[in-house]
Structure 1
């Protein structure tokens, strides 16, 4: 997974996690103001386009998609490796940052689950790398 495509995958992973976290923060703020649809569809659009946090989150989603597509064009980077890295890595980043930054609860059992997800992604990566050689 070396090279520019591997780097693009890592950047996509970070952008995806950032986008989800920013969406959570932005929508929490919108909910405090009565919710997204409190003023109808038009009001919802105004709330989204006037929220810097939501706009940055949406931008991160777009950049994530571009980086992920770039990474996937590599013949050396198998989807069976890329997808577990995206999902498992994103899950771990969001769980930890949600706990540290957003004050979300992270129990011992949930922490163990994050560890198992990462271990699974690692095992898939190792198996994929050895199968390619």
Structure 2
């Protein structure tokens, strides 16, 4: 795995940890189809509504580069909405037969790795 792949994988591992800390269940990681990839598919706990959550993770090293959240363009958000629809159709409905109780939400997790110190992990709900 190259440095960029390692950085992305590390950021996704941190994102999964953060989501689980909030009580979410991670259903799948790095789901791919011909239209693209979903980094993480999770579900809110029933007490929080049970929404299906498609999560985009962006990881950046600290420095002069843009904040991880700035890397997601409107075009990427549109693709995530389409991928969420595909995943739900192909994976969720095939098993459960009905939509998730809390609907579908698209979240973003930005991971900033400073030169020194702990990584900063920011989870923003309902970005698209």
TM-score > 0.5 by shorter chain = no
Q: What's the TM-score, normalizing by structure 1?
A: 0.29
Q: What's the TM-score, normalizing by structure 2?
A: 0.30
Q: Which has the larger radius of gyration?
A: 1
Per residue, is there more helix in 1 or in 2? Answer: 1
More RCO (CA 8 Å, sep 6+): 1
Per residue, is there more strand in 1 or in 2? Answer: 2
